[in-house]
Structure 1
């Protein structure tokens, strides 16, 4: 296996040459085989061991085993201990998810603080098959069937091409010592049930099952690349991005023969999971929305609008004093006394300072707000009607701000000035207000 492993590294992982490598080592058979393999080759290695404190004294015996092996073989070793159960309870996640989060965060921290280039894990071909079957049993898209990636940023899994049988044979031939994890014998975990019951049956049906599975997964990975390429091309035709907001054109989207698949491909990275609700959104009325933990997908007329969650507090108010020259939050506004006026615009207005009552107030609009639009000779109009006339999206309405003097609207910021504060022939003091 050593020669095969060396050739595998030569053809697939030349990026490791001359690099400083950190080996994730539990003390189990797979990780100890990985350590032994790299000891036989010309690589600068270190060992990283996580004690998750999930198996009482066994966890500390694993830790001691790894520490003693590293010391006996003069390998730099890094050890950490986690209160995994407390972390899982605090963040309302499973123990397995908590352990994964904790260890990879620590691995990346070690890469930086100890100047390692890559972290390597001992996942092998049977682990890949088990992951495939777990995802298949739970229901998954194509990406869930493509298996464990050989490289994910600075995490590399160099043993995915090798079977459990090859690992075990190498361990016995080289008298490698390892620690047995007692939890691996229990079938209360889904992975263990698949490992102990389903995988042996599949291998019995076809002795070359693992090799056949590897070919199938290669085809699935190639298909996934095609899907991603097509997704990017169609995205450029359907989507438009403005800062942190993405607009999907529904007319163009619905012309696609399989638009649901494209939506899934585009939105999965934003944490959405209620896919049926998202697909229903396409045909629903304006104003309906679906949330992920950090994003909202909103139906607005002929668009789906994806934006970060920004819950609007209608009572949120900001006060502006008489001598204040600028505002930096929630908008960038500047206030300047001038002696004459230039052409006003949506972003610049000129008002009669003597008509203002300070402090001015900046707040979101409320239902029922009304104003006297500039140039309409004192006629009142509801702000909501203006928004409708201007064809503002629901997102744009939510993000609109109004500038008030006492209870009167001075300016629907960036949109329309109020008639009551306009400059007249008798005006002595002029205030220029500009949206940056």
Structure 2
């Protein structure tokens, strides 16, 4: 497996070479094997372990195991204990969702504070198969069937081409030790039930199930990419943007084949679930409307008009001083002695070009800026189209401004006018995280 893994890294993850990598390590079979594989590649790695305090002494035992593993392998380790049940109760979410939120928020902090380039997780081929069936059972589109992505921003999953059986074989051949999570043996959760009861029967009837599933995943992903490109073209034909709304031209979209599917692709992500009702809206009387938790879709003559329900939040403006804020978004402004590599969630700016307090607000129709690396200005609406940013993502985008000039389209591109130059006297590092 090691040779296969090395080849896979060289083919799909060559960008990891020379990078500083953080491995999410539970102490279980998968993450222990991933740690050993990356160590054998002489990568610069560290481990991060979450103790969710859900299994008493067993959880503490997992933490001590991971700390011991890191010590034996002579690599750094981070460990954090969370009151997961309290967090779940306060935020009125499931324990599983609470653990996920806490885990990734903490990982993100470590990545930024200790300057790791990527987070590696040990998801493998069987995990993807389970996710496929879970999404299939709940009803989903191609995106939900396309599986777990190998790369999602800074999260990398280098074991997705390997089965649980291959991972176990590698561990046994190399006499590796790992921890067993007793909760994985319970069938209370759908994923565990699939893993323990349903999928083993599928594998018994078809020995090449995982191999065939990989082919299916590649076909689905290729189809999804094709649909996204086509939807971007359709968007330019049928959608127009107003200050606080999007308008879909009904006659134009009706002229195109597969109208219902196009509506799904255009409106997916705004919380609508009754897609038959959305489709029926095309031929409904003016004034007919549908609501999701966040948006309203109304028939207005020859258009479908999409607006946020809580529009006043889009018009809120927040003042930002040279510090860290956590509302309405997570943003940190701090001095820096040097300029590092600018990323989507991290920029470096010349302090003397800013006038504090800065302003934070959502983007508006007519906004323009000078994208980093360009000489001329560009309207944000044009920038979003060129970047193929979908409708639902545009509404989440915040701007950081100084004297009404855009400093940063947060999470996307900074403004060239505020870049650091050889004449810069003081550098500011600005970081954004979800």
TM-score, normalisation: structure 2: 0.69
Higher mean C-alpha deviation, range 186-195 or range 147-156: 186-195
Equivalent residue for 1:348?
Answer: none
Q: Helix, strand or coil: the match of 2:269?
A: helix
* Alpha carbons 2:22, 2:116 under 8 Å: kept: yes
Equivalent residue for 1:74?
Answer: 74
In structure 1, C-alpha distance between the alignment counterparts of 2:89 and 2:250, rounded to whole Å: 41
Q: By how many angstroms is 1:311 displaced?
A: 5.7
In structure 1, C-alpha distance between the alignment counterparts of 2:114 and 2:171, rounded to whole Å: 29
Q: Helix, strand or coil: the match of 1:254?
A: helix
Equivalent residue for 1:208?
Answer: 208
Equivalent residue for 1:229?
Answer: 229
* Alpha carbons 2:85, 2:95 under 8 Å: kept: yes
In structure 1, C-alpha distance between the alignment counterparts of 2:237 and 2:112, rounded to whole Å: 40
Equivalent residue for 1:293?
Answer: 293
Q: Helix, strand or coil: the match of 1:270?
A: coil
Equivalent residue for 1:242?
Answer: 242
Equivalent residue for 1:3?
Answer: 3
Higher mean C-alpha deviation, range 117-126 or range 253-262: 253-262
* Structure 1 residues 311 and 38: alpha-carbon distance in aligned structure 2, compared to 1, 3 A threshold: closer
Q: Helix, strand or coil: the match of 1:282?
A: helix
Alignment map for 1:99-114 (pairs within 5 Å)? 99-114=99-114
In structure 2, C-alpha distance between the alignment counterparts of 1:81 and 1:278, rounded to whole Å: 45
* Structure 1 residues 244 and 70: alpha-carbon distance in aligned structure 2, compared to 1, 3 A threshold: farther
In structure 1, C-alpha distance between the alignment counterparts of 2:23 and 2:292, rounded to whole Å: 35
* Alpha carbons 2:294, 2:310 under 8 Å: kept: no
Q: Deviations over 1:32-80 (max 9, x none)?
A: 0000111111211011111111112211111111112112222111112
* Structure 1 residues 45 and 219: alpha-carbon distance in aligned structure 2, compared to 1, 3 A threshold: same
Equivalent residue for 2:141?
Answer: 141
Equivalent residue for 1:377?
Answer: none
Give the aligned length.
313
In structure 1, C-alpha distance between the alignment counterparts of 2:149 and 2:72, rounded to whole Å: 33
Q: By how many angstroms is 1:269 displaced?
A: 2.4
In structure 1, C-alpha distance between the alignment counterparts of 2:49 and 2:142, rounded to whole Å: 33
In structure 2, C-alpha distance between the alignment counterparts of 1:291 and 1:19, rounded to whole Å: 46
Q: By how many angstroms is 1:244 displaced?
A: 4.4
Q: By how many angstroms is 1:290 displaced?
A: 2.6
Q: Which runs of 5+ in 1 are unaligned?
A: 313-436
Q: Deviations over 1:321-352 (max 9, x none)?
A: xxxxxxxxxxxxxxxxxxxxxxxxxxxxxxxx
Matched, 1:252 2:243: no
In structure 2, C-alpha distance between the alignment counterparts of 1:244 and 1:116, rounded to whole Å: 38
Q: By how many angstroms is 1:91 displaced?
A: 2.4
* Alpha carbons 2:271, 2:294 under 8 Å: kept: yes
In structure 2, C-alpha distance between the alignment counterparts of 1:301 and 1:55, rounded to whole Å: 58
Q: By how many angstroms is 1:309 displaced?
A: 2.4
Q: By how many angstroms is 1:101 displaced?
A: 1.8
In structure 2, C-alpha distance between the alignment counterparts of 1:163 and 1:27, rounded to whole Å: 18
In structure 2, C-alpha distance between the alignment counterparts of 1:264 and 1:138, rounded to whole Å: 16
In structure 2, C-alpha distance between the alignment counterparts of 1:277 and 1:87, rounded to whole Å: 36
Alignment map for 1:10-89 (pairs within 5 Å)? 10-89=10-89
Q: Which runs of 5+ in 2 are unaligned?
A: 313-434
Equivalent residue for 2:263?
Answer: 263
Alignment map for 1:91-240 (pairs within 5 Å)? 91-240=91-240
Alignment map for 1:402-421 (pairs within 5 Å)? none
Q: Deviations over 1:372-422 (max 9, x none)?
A: xxxxxxxxxxxxxxxxxxxxxxxxxxxxxxxxxxxxxxxxxxxxxxxxxxx
Higher mean C-alpha deviation, range 32-41 or range 80-89: 80-89
Q: By how many angstroms is 1:280 displaced?
A: 3.0
Q: By how many angstroms is 1:282 displaced?
A: 2.2
**Could you say which structure has the larger radius of gyration?**
1
In structure 1, C-alpha distance between the alignment counterparts of 2:84 and 2:208, rounded to whole Å: 39
Equivalent residue for 2:389?
Answer: none
In structure 1, C-alpha distance between the alignment counterparts of 2:258 and 2:67, rounded to whole Å: 55
* Structure 1 residues 93 and 285: alpha-carbon distance in aligned structure 2, compared to 1, 3 A threshold: farther
* Alpha carbons 2:119, 2:154 under 8 Å: kept: yes
* Structure 1 residues 109 and 276: alpha-carbon distance in aligned structure 2, compared to 1, 3 A threshold: farther
Q: By how many angstroms is 1:143 displaced?
A: 1.2
Q: By how many angstroms is 1:277 displaced?
A: 3.2
Q: Helix, strand or coil: the match of 1:80?
A: strand
Q: Helix, strand or coil: the match of 1:46?
A: strand
Q: Deviations over 1:135-177 (max 9, x none)?
A: 1122211111111110111101000000111100110111111
* Alpha carbons 2:231, 2:262 under 8 Å: kept: yes
TM-score, normalisation: structure 1: 0.69
In structure 1, C-alpha distance between the alignment counterparts of 2:82 and 2:161, rounded to whole Å: 31
In structure 1, C-alpha distance between the alignment counterparts of 2:288 and 2:116, rounded to whole Å: 48
Q: Deviations over 1:243-299 (max 9, x none)?
A: 442111111122233222111111222333333332232223333333333332222
Task: Give the RMSD, CA atoms, in angstroms.
Answer: 1.7
